[in-house]
Amino acid sequence: MVRITTDYIEIPANSEREINFQLVAPQALDPGTYYNLIVFTQSGKNIEKDFVIGALGAISHLVKIDIIKDSTSEIVTDDWDINFEVISRGIPFFKPSILKVTIFNNSPYTLTPKGEIQIVKRGGNKEPEYIKVNTDRKNVFPEQTFEHEYEVQNWYLEDIFFGKTAYIRLENGLDENFQTEEIKIQSFTNEFLYIIASITVIILLATSIKEGSAVIPEQEFSE
């Protein structure tokens, strides 16, 4: 329910007016996110002799309302989950690693997640790479899911041997409640050893063929 001090508000042409109103939620409503459309009807009358010329229009404003159980609680809802995973390790120095963030909204509230991903190399002697999550401020409605992939651009030589760690910290946009997760972007040690072993085998094989072709046995001729 919307409460306004007066039903009629006069706003002269080329001017503005601040309008105070109060939203009162019925006690029967369950906790959750609700939307209220406030509509202002615009009208003007010019009386000329016995004729009335009128112009009618409507100005609307959508208001988002979050009804909570306890107004003194610091946590509105913790009924949401995140999944943080590595989609692709990429190719060192050629192709970025790809991380995927999935947010499940199991609450009756509309969430606007926000947070950050931090990628840390093992040595710790380089500045971590930071990636902002949900910079478009997309809403996640009840029983819906938010999914997005993020690219890890920075590569260092030690990433090939030791990998790196990615941390995520997300808030739900309603309260100070947050969730964190940690995943490992695996190294390329096995691939590196396989390449070295393959190169070694090729070199040994080439050397063996070269030495074999260099020795030509002496032939005997009979009269």
**Cβ count near 185 (within 10 Å):** 19
Count Cα neighbours of 166 within 13 Å in the Cβ-side half-sphere. 27
- Domain annotation covers residue 95: yes
Q: State the residue range of the domain holding 45.
A: 2-67
Contacts of 131 (CB under 8 A, 6+ apart): 99, 116, 117, 118, 119, 150, 152
Please report which residue ranges of the chain form alpha helices under DSSP H.
157-162, 189-214
The token pair that represents 154 in the structure block:
């920075």
Do 21 and 50 fall into the same domain? yes
Closest by CA to 103, choosing from 62, 145, 68, is 145
Do 109 and 182 fall into the same domain? yes
3-46 pLDDT, tens digit each:
776 667 777 778 887 777 777 777 788 899 988 887 777 665 54
Residue 115 sits in a domain whose CATH number is 2.60.40.10
Q: Give strand pairing partners of 114.
A: 171
Beta strands in 49-142 (DSSP E): 51-67, 80-88, 97-105, 114-121, 129-133
Query: Do residues 59 and 40 touch, judged by C-beta distance below 8 A?
Result: yes
pTM score: 0.75
- Domain annotation covers residue 147: yes
148-195 pLDDT, tens digit each:
999 999 998 888 889 999 999 999 999 888 999 999 999 888 776 777
Do 165 and 109 fall into the same domain? yes
- Domain annotation covers residue 110: yes
Do 86 and 174 fall into the same domain? yes
80-120 pLDDT, tens digit each:
999 999 999 999 899 999 999 999 999 999 999 999 999 99
The token pair that represents 208 in the structure block:
């063996």
Sign of CA dihedral 29, 31, 32, 38: positive
Cα–Cα distance for residue pair 116/133, rounded to 1 Å: 5
Contacts of 36 (CB under 8 A, 6+ apart): 2, 23, 62, 63, 65
Do 33 and 85 fall into the same domain? no
Cα–Cα distance for residue pair 207/167, rounded to 1 Å: 48
- Domain annotation covers residue 114: yes
- Identify the residue with better confidence: 126 or 168: 168
Closest by CA to 101, choosing from 148, 61, 65, 54, is 148
Do 111 and 174 fall into the same domain? yes
Cα–Cα distance for residue pair 167/81, rounded to 1 Å: 15
Do 42 and 90 fall into the same domain? no
- Domain annotation covers residue 124: yes
Q: Tell me what percent of the residues of the chain surpass a pLDDT of 70.
A: 83
Count Cα neighbours of 43 within 13 Å in the Cβ-side half-sphere. 8
Q: Is the pLDDT of residue 137 over 70?
A: yes
Q: How confident is the model at residue 55 (pLDDT cuts 50, 70, 90)?
A: very low
Cα–Cα distance for residue pair 63/181, rounded to 1 Å: 33
Task: Provide the number of structural domains found in the chain.
Answer: 2
Contacts of 23 (CB under 8 A, 6+ apart): 1, 2, 3, 36, 63, 65
Do 153 and 56 fall into the same domain? no
Do 60 and 88 fall into the same domain? no
Residue linked to tokens 């790809």: 98
- Domain annotation covers residue 63: yes
